[in-house]
Structure 1
Amino acid sequence: MSESTLTSGAPITQLPDDYMQNPHEVHHMLRAEGPVREVRTPQGLKVWFVTRYDEVKTALTAPGISKKLMGRVRHDALTEHMVFMDPPHHTRLRKLVTKPFTARRVEALRPRVEEIAAELIAKLDDGDVVDLLDVFAVPLPVAVISELLGIPIDNRDEFRAWSNQLINVSTPDEVQAATSGMADLLYRHVREVQAAEPDDTFFSALVHATESGDRLTTEELVSMAFLLLVAGHETTVNLIGNAVFQLLRNPDQLQVLKDRPELIPASTDEFLRLEGSINIASFRYTTEPLELGGVTVPAGELLMVSLLAANRDPERYEDPDRLDVTRPVQGHLAFGHGIHFCLGAPLARLEFDVALTQLLARFPNLELAAEPETLVWRDSTLVRGLHTLPVRLA
């Protein structure tokens, strides 16, 4: 990393162009310098970067921080959801969306998730060299969330391309094309469900959910369906991929889970802590001066809050760069914290438990089919995930 000077005379750190390929090294250096630091991203954006656990937790809940940034940058049918809202609008939407998203409804999905996972694994054979993301980690959560919302994903490759363009670093034209394609799909679906009689499916419950006579508008339903559809598969895709990658790089820990598969559900938190699906939480900005660990961030400044960095803070977790599937992890921030805590966390946990349990049972001698350092991470500050994960099935 290099350092330059702002017109105010304050130092600013330039994030390296390959930051997304090795964020942990950058986070380690930033944490050593302080809890929050002014940086310039590879795209040229000046932000305040929060990397220590305590300050990240504070930044996720402080009242002087707003998430209404996207509406100031881009306003379309896909941005009117909870992620980019503050109370009281966020509170209203959260109440309506939480009603059909109960623990009972999520757990009831387990047999179907197991069935989908088994169908995907049945197509694979010993000795095959495959991209595990393409054949398993992507289609499993895409199938689950599309069934949950009742949205037919007829062209998975097109849907995945839209998701990538909206989450990765993309051109304005790519973002516009992805937004239009996704919005058209979701508007058609919402209107069909609105016109149908209510039933006991999840999305019907969401469309017809009421709170004191209030219900979601068509635009809110489209945006909420987008959030659930994209976040509902991206989180799990990368959780599965990152976890398998870490296990194949740590054969002693892989052996622990093969010997004791009953530990897989509890190990989810260690995988989330070590290499969670989200690096930088969605952008925030300060509406008033904010003190973080003795550093004052002025009003009107952008914040990048790194969940990935917080979860490897040595002040919070001993030997944080080491994978230990028996570690009793408490309080990690991989799903966020406070009012924006991930609504789909129970579903991600369920899918991960099923996916890893079935994968290791069928292919206990799974191994990487490429050198770890040759694998490329996605060009996104938001998600932490590999482009491909080549493995040899055995």
Structure 2
Amino acid sequence: MTAPVTVDLMDPELLRDPFHGYSRLREQSPMAQVVYGDRGSSLWIVTRYADVRLVLSDRRFVNNPGNVPGMRIQDPRTEIFRKMGIDDEYAPYLLRSVLDADGDEHLRLRRLVSRAFTARRVAALLPRVREITGQLLDRLPERASPRDGAVDLLEHFAYPLPITVICELVGIPEEDRGRWLGWSRALMRSHETEHFTAAIRGIVDHVEALVARRRDEPADDLLTALIGVHDEDGAVLSEFELVTMVLTIVLAGHETTAHLIGNGTVALLTHPDQLELLRTDPAALLPRAVHELMRWCGPVQGARFRYAAEDVEIGGRKLRKGSPVMASLVSANFDPRRFDDPHRLDITRQPDGRRETHLGFGHGLHYCLGAALARQEAEVAFAALFDRYPDLCLAVPPEDLERIPMPGAWRLSALPVRLTPTP
């Protein structure tokens, strides 16, 4: 067999433009081996749409390396977290969530929380999402810098909207939400280990205290409902699982949406023809636009590692049992085998707002549980933002926008905009 195509995930050019970078990689090979500097590794990346769907949905791939039959594979994140200074007391909260579970364990945990994200529950949240959106937009002018009139839309709109919604749903008190926002940002900057480790300790200690408080003061929220499940039968949801579930829901429930709103705003402002088209019929085009933005500039570009539970052939190359593999969502979402002219932003691409063809929210058993809520929040955000501020524009050239250098993610550090044109 020929030598594999290789890729360095920290290649500056790949981080700067993952869309064309991974597209070139995909056309070279359906699978690529990850290298670190000049060293090879056991990690593989799957690049083509059909193969990415396979990895995400086939039960021959597991999320937990401990579930590979007949092998004892240590989760590589364990050693990474130790090097970052996260002690063994807190690391399991990052290693053993519903996102890391497989089979019956995953289904049990997913069913317990899925009631919070039913279509009916999400629809019932719509008035509150609109109310929060309006309040945030009302306050934007006072956030403008006296120096240049710029407003950081990421800090003052894209982040506060989804974290307020998910915190209300879960039951995080209003006075604590600022801390959650800070913890979330610290976790997105994992190279700043001091802040990262402090954030994990802060989240876990806070949720444990909040669980104790909710036992004494029940409320109409998801946390109280999960506590009820735990207290009725501790075997159904353990104390550890309860804390981990809250951590996962809150963090996953706002981070992706915040950056979808940020990335989508930049995309529409830099494609005025698409923004103008959206304005002609927002009711019909918003659902389709959000799907296209999730495909074209989605914040999650690589899925979590999966491990081959047996030998699997992909694209003519055998992936050995126990091998870790990453499904490249960005590569799949730009695969011309599935999407015509994939590098063109086209908000009419989807035939309707319900049938999802992109893989921005994943696929298969681990498909994003909060996808419907994220889509709803993004639709409300884009509609209200461009209606309230029709002259909205970037405060810096698009190429000067700073992004967090993180493989597998497409996230802005800030989004400076002006609400009205400069005089």
User: TM-score if structure 2 supplies the norm length?
Assistant: 0.84
Q: Is the 8 A contact 2:300 2:410 kept in 1?
A: yes
Q: Aligned to 2:113, which of 97, 103, 107?
A: 97
CA distance in 1, matches of 2:39, 2:415: 30
Pair 1:124 & 2:140 matched: yes
Q: Aligned to 1:60, which of 23, 36, 56?
A: 56
Match of 2:215 in 1: 194
Match of 1:14 in 2: 8
Displacement, 1:157?
5.5
CA distance in 2, matches of 1:324, 1:346: 21
Displacement, 1:61?
1.6
Q: Is the 8 A contact 1:99 1:209 kept in 2?
A: no
The number of residues matched between the two structures is: 386
CA distance in 2, matches of 1:42, 1:188: 44
Match of 1:306 in 2: 328
Code of the residue aligned with 1:55 in structure 2: it is D
Match of 1:326 in 2: 348
Q: Is the 8 A contact 1:287 1:300 kept in 2?
A: yes
Pair 1:363 & 2:398 matched: no
% of aligned pairs identical? 38
* Inter-CA distance 11–239: structure 2 relative to 1 (3 Å threshold): closer
- Map 1:262-277 → 2, pairs under 5 A: 262=283, 263-277=285-299
* Inter-CA distance 377–383: structure 2 relative to 1 (3 Å threshold): same
Q: Is the 8 A contact 2:164 2:177 kept in 1?
A: no
Match of 1:23 in 2: 18
Pair 1:176 & 2:197 matched: yes
CA distance in 2, matches of 1:255, 1:299: 50
Over aligned residues, Cα RMSD in angstroms?
A: 2.5
More displaced stretch, 128-137 vs 187-196: 187-196
More displaced stretch, 44-53 vs 102-111: 44-53
Q: Aligned to 1:208, which of 213, 228, 241?
A: 228
Match of 1:4 in 2: none
Unaligned runs of 5+ in 1: 1-7
Pair 1:39 & 2:34 matched: yes
Q: Is the 8 A contact 2:301 2:410 kept in 1?
A: yes
Displacement, 1:145?
0.9
Question: Helix, strand or coil for the counterpart of 2:7?
Answer: strand
Code of the residue aligned with 1:367 in structure 2: it is C
Question: Helix, strand or coil for the counterpart of 2:33?
Answer: strand
Code of the residue aligned with 2:325 in structure 1: it is L
- How big is each residue's C-alpha offset from its partner over 1:278-306, in whole Å with a ceiling of 9 and x where there is no partner? 11111222232221122211122221211
Match of 2:157 in 1: 136
Code of the residue aligned with 2:124 in structure 1: it is A
* Inter-CA distance 172–389: structure 2 relative to 1 (3 Å threshold): closer
The ranges of structure 1 where at least 4 consecutive aligned residues each deviate by more than 6 angstroms after the TM superposition are 42-45
* Inter-CA distance 374–249: structure 2 relative to 1 (3 Å threshold): same
Code of the residue aligned with 2:392 in structure 1: it is L
Code of the residue aligned with 2:296 in structure 1: it is L
Question: Helix, strand or coil for the counterpart of 1:19?
Answer: helix
Q: Is the 8 A contact 2:169 2:222 kept in 1?
A: yes
